[in-house]
Structure 1
Amino acid sequence: MARINVNINPDILLWARQEAGYSIDEVAVKLSVDPERYKNWERKGQDIPFGKLQNLATYYKRQIAVFFLPKVPVKIKKPKDFRNLSPTDSFLSKEVLLTLRRSAHLQRIAKDLEGENYWNKKLLWLNEIEKIKNEKDIITRLRKLIGIDIDQQLKWKSESEAYRNWRTSIEDKLGILVFQFSMPIEELQGFCMTDNLPYIIVTNSNHSYTGRIFTIFHELAHIIRHQSGMCLVDKVEQNQKEEWACNTFAGSFLAPIKTIVPTDNLKEIETYSRKLKVSREVYLRRLKEEGLLPDVKFYALLDKIKATYKKKPKTKGFVLPEVKSRASRGETFYNIVFEAIGTNRINYTDAAHALGLRVSRLINEI
């Protein structure tokens, strides 16, 4: 069978590679071609073997049709980087770049299916919050809007139950979609996007449940400030004023002063933090913020807590695709897509793509 060569817009080839986070040398190795030959494809876009383009589509997680567009698609607008990393450490890995792309794609789908007016109405609460100047009053009002008081929070039996309840309430009551995807935990623990509707929060599924809960409210603090941001919530230092303020907000929301019991006993800190479904570090920081623990004692206890952590080996068990889809995209997005199928606003192929499922599995879910 004769090999088919094609001509494309070379700028699209460059765009696709950069958006996926590949270097020319990496691509050349994967395609088993000389780097100079690949560079020539990006310069001229001529005589590219169709089979190589298919390989690139797989590597870049793109549909093959993308390479034949006449114009270069708009680049994903990345959230502001609040991670305070050195230039050499601040690069974004392929996993994170893919998560940013995927999240923005789901955001666009949700907007297209429900419409801009729908999502604007969902965010009207922000107008009310903006008029409140005192953070304590903001938290009180948000608690009422979300519909979860401290007594309900204390009744939850597990951290996973707490995460599900917080996530569902943020989506239902505040109109913010909460996605979760696997990312390198040392690189990014969460981010939010507010440049388009609907607003979204993304947590790292490699993080603990308490870490994901804290990330949700840290990112909610950014959203209240109308900021998009990429964050490492566990590694915030006091000189990071914006991040420190968001951490303070999240801590105050999840562990109000009336729930804080003064102590410098690690076992008691563990007990109290478990009741609130927050990490020991969050409870310890709340003690310090409320003036219930001197700095010297705080840092000594913090070191002891960190010393107890051991890196857990990753365990990969089989998860049904539809279960994974619901977990990553959230019930709200999942339901939006299924309702759109029922009202013929989306076809089965596009719906399956949006949910990361095969059409056959999608049909079984209906």
Structure 2
Amino acid sequence: MKDPITIAVNHKVLVWAREAIVLNRANAAEKTGIPPKRLIQLEEGERQPTLEELKDFSKAYKRTIATLLLTNPPKEKPLPPDRRTIDSKFVGNFHEKTIMAVRKARALAISLMELKQDAGILSPRFQYKASLQDNPLMIAQKIRTELNLSEIREYTNVNLGLEAYVEKIESIGVAVFQLTLTQDNLRGFSIVDEDIPIIGIKRGGEPATAKIFTLFHELGHIILNEGGLCDLSYNTSLQIEKWCNAFSAEILIPVSELLQMKIVIEQAAKGDKIWAKKDLIELANYFHVGPLAILRSLLESNLTTAEYYKDRHLAWNKPSFGRAKHPEGRNLAKETIKEKGRAYVSLAFSAFDQNRIDLKDLSDFLGIKLSYISKTRQLLNV
């Protein structure tokens, strides 16, 4: 029986592809189905893979076969710094799904720039800059005024409010994508080493109010020119996370406005620092945030106690809090618009309508099968 035909590859590329998604050899052998001894031989260059093994590598490592056939390992940009509140042994260790989400955000940003360039649209350069020595409240007040964010308070539908906030941030030269972040306790991330800064926020499993807070927290990172993978913990000891939390809180819940709210004035007059949930929710709905964000701002103004805040945080910050009571099934057209944003999807359809790209290109830009394109267009126009 003839030996199977092998394909010449640079064994260093196989090692790079595995390490790029943080897999050790034991995990790689399990995912690919290639025996550990054989895997070592392939990675050491003692043997060459068969076509079937190359397909197994491609599927496990989320790389095309063409990439695995490169003559040398490509230089890939690193992940943003780890800003999570976790045990030191977990710092810098991420699930492959997180790595894929960051990689996808980078690819989408490149596609967005291509679509804009093809349409002759000049993308604005992001101009805002600050340092940790700057007062985050002052920076927040400046940006809130310049972007006229107060007008979004008129939205009674918080999901429409989220879309409006995203459009505001995109208008100042930031790419915003909602991605599946199911691992590593992440709420969002920011990237500052691309031609356009990128914000990624968790798409599912959280209310829109939490996404809005994450959006501005990550904007804080971009203003500081310090990207990160974040869980947005209030218990963090990292100065940069405290700065970004304070920035996001002030831009959404200006202290001067909060203290003038009728509910707050009446509660302060009574000297009562224990707040009714309905009052916190009323304030939260007005400011497009969650009740915990309101309570945290009240704590900063000495209008509640640290003990009460901690108690409510434990009660309300559970995974099920704020989620849909009746989650719907998957809607790929809706997910596409949420993930890439209306601006991106509109640019892709515009390029197709003007015959600058064909139907296959449109499918590639949107990342969906041809059968979902019509539904996506219908939803976009709603």
Q: Same fold (TM over 0.5)?
A: yes
Residue identity matched to 2:243: A
Deviation at 1:282, TM superposition (A): 1.1
Tell me if the contact between 1:28 and 1:34 (Cα under 8 Å) persists in the aligned partners.
yes
Provide the secondary structure at the position in 2 that maps to 1:202: strand
Q: Which residue of 1 aligns with 2:172?
A: 174
Deviation at 1:308, TM superposition (A): 4.2
Deviation at 1:278, TM superposition (A): 0.9
1:222-262 deviation per Cα after TM superposition (whole angstroms, max 9, x unaligned):
111111111111x2326321110110010011011213425
Tell me if the contact between 1:111 and 1:119 (Cα under 8 Å) persists in the aligned partners.
no
TM-score, length basis structure 1: 0.86
Structure 1 residues 196 and 343, CA, compared in 2 at 3 Å: closer, same or farther?
farther
Deviation at 1:86, TM superposition (A): 2.0
Written as runs of structure 1 = structure 2, the 5 A alignment for 1:290-329 is 290-293=301-304, 297-308=305-316, 310-312=318-320, 317-329=328-340
Written as runs of structure 1 = structure 2, the 5 A alignment for 1:1-366 is 3-44=4-45, 46-90=47-91, 91-115=93-117, 122-126=124-128, 135-149=136-150, 152-171=151-170, 173-184=171-182, 187-205=185-203, 206-233=205-232, 235-237=233-235, 239-257=237-255, 258-260=257-259, 261=264, 263=267, 264=273, 265-267=275-277, 268-293=279-304, 297-308=305-316, 310-312=318-320, 317-342=328-353, 346=357, 348-362=359-373
RMSD: 3.0
Tell me if the contact between 1:280 and 1:305 (Cα under 8 Å) persists in the aligned partners.
no
Structure 1 residues 246 and 210, CA, compared in 2 at 3 Å: closer, same or farther?
same
Residue identity matched to 2:63: R
Deviation at 1:287, TM superposition (A): 1.3
Identity %: 23
Question: How many angstroms apart in 2 are the aligned matches of 1:26 and 1:185?
Answer: 17
Structure 1 residues 189 and 229, CA, compared in 2 at 3 Å: closer, same or farther?
same
Question: How many angstroms apart in 2 are the aligned matches of 1:124 and 1:301?
Answer: 36
Residue-pair matches, total: 356
Residue identity matched to 2:349: F
Structure 1 residues 339 and 43, CA, compared in 2 at 3 Å: closer, same or farther?
farther
Question: How many angstroms apart in 2 are the aligned matches of 1:71 and 1:348?
Answer: 33
Q: Which runs of 5+ in 1 are unaligned?
A: none
Deviation at 1:160, TM superposition (A): 1.9
Q: Which runs of 5+ in 2 are unaligned?
A: 268-272, 378-382
TM-score, length basis structure 2: 0.82
Bigger proportion of residues as helix: 1
